[in-house]
Amino acid sequence: MKKNQTLKSTLVTLAWSVYIPSFLLSIAQGMIIPILPGFASEEMAATTFMIGLIVSAKAIGMLIFDIPSGIILSKYGMNKTMMIGVFLFALSSFLAVIAQSTTFLFFARIISGISFSLWMISRHSYIAIAVPVEIRGRAISIFGGFGRFATILGPFIGGIVAEFIGIRIPFILQIFLATITMIILIINYHKSDKYNNNIDKHLLSENKKLLSGFSIVLKKNYKIFATAGFVASVLSFLRAAREFLIPFWGEELKLSKDMIGYIVTASFAVDSLLFPIVGYVMDRWGRKFTGVPAIIILSIAILLVPLTRDINSLLLVGILAGLGNGLSTAFILTLGADLSPKENRGEFLGTWRMFADSGASSAPLAIGYMGQIISISFASSFTAIFGLLGTIMLIFMVKDTKKNKKS
């Protein structure tokens, strides 16, 4: 918010308000990644289709609530929106603990998606206002880096706890971590109430009608959503495709569960190491310098997945995909923050997240459908071509926000 704000002072400000709470919630989210399919199958005898639906439920919840989250943010401010998100996350975990049917579990996961939508838009808006554009790439890339480390740690903890203690215990740990997060947020809010109230002044909308800010945002920014928003959707599609295709193809190659786990872990490990470099490059040379190679490398990796024939070749492709995804660290968040207007910021970021989440939620369904009726090779080629279209759009139709926005 200040022109002379340094990276060090910004990181100190963000530590307890963004980085640590997000790290805890990311660990909590990640703990059920390896156990959710087994939980639905073993505890509730879910069908393959229902398991896929339950796994997709979080993304569906995020997608349907991105715009409402933006409206809630504009009406009630950052802190209330954030607190509601954390509370709903704890509630969704509690409902999952007591779930006895697939329908009930699906409902719990939808609430988890809604909670994540509220949490992410409040954090995204906070960063968009509090962090100057000159250091935004580095600040947000650290945010993304914390999330990537948590993605490695969370599944590791969840798998061990489920295996040796109980398959419902990770959901209880989620409630515990959500409670700690809520306490941290409350303490930090009371310590920095004037600062947080100043943030809210930039977010609260004066529009009395529920959807008025949303309609204004669409009218004023439709070109941004049609170009940059499309790129965000493409990148999210590629990311979700990578998470779906690599484990799926490992099963097709008859690899054991632990071998597939090693490949996925290696891919995420490469992914998580690049955020300091990516942040520096975005702030030094521009957002496109990481976004363009990220989409190209991810597209190539996804194209190569069906061509692998053993664990070694799939591992190499997984590492390549990790490199591409690592280069995209914080790209969507940073670009959205750069493009967000001072007025109706919440509605803008809600719509922006809707574009990104539409790609993430549609990828597993689209690839699975194409793979079933045609082939996985076709689905992989289609995804790579989709990535090529996104690359062309980013290069020629999206202006680099680092060069355009001076403050």
Q: Quote the pLDDT of residue 317.
A: 92
- Taken as a whole, the chain contains a residue count of 407
Q: Quote the pLDDT of residue 210.
A: 54
Q: What's the sign of the alpha-carbon dihedral 184, 190, 194, 198?
A: positive
Domains and CATH numbers, the chain: 1-204 (1.20.1250.20), 221-398 (1.20.1250.20)
Structure tokens at 182: 């809520």
Q: How far is CA 169 from CA 58, 97, 284, 291, in A?
A: 19, 8, 45, 39
Q: Quote the pLDDT of residue 1.
A: 46
Q: Quote the pLDDT of residue 196.
A: 55
Q: Quote the pLDDT of residue 407.
A: 40
Q: Quote the pLDDT of residue 94.
A: 96
The pTM for the full model equals 0.74
Cβ burial, residue 262 (10 Å; 0-12/13-18/19+):
middle
Within 10 angstroms of residue 109's Cβ, the number of other Cβ atoms is 26
* Tens of each residue's pLDDT in the chain, 407 residues: 444 456 666 677 777 777 888 889 989 988 887 777 778 878 888 776 677 678 778 888 988 888 888 788 877 777 888 889 999 999 999 999 999 999 999 999 999 999 998 988 888 777 777 777 677 777 777 777 777 778 778 877 887 788 788 889 999 999 999 999 999 888 877 765 555 555 555 555 544 455 566 677 778 888 898 999 999 999 999 988 887 788 778 877 877 766 776 787 788 788 878 877 888 888 888 888 889 999 999 999 999 999 998 889 999 999 999 899 988 887 887 888 788 877 777 778 778 888 888 888 788 778 877 877 888 889 899 999 999 999 999 999 888 877 554 44
Q: Quote the pLDDT of residue 406.
A: 45
- CB under 8 Å to 142, separation ≥6 — which residues? 11, 14, 19, 275, 276, 279
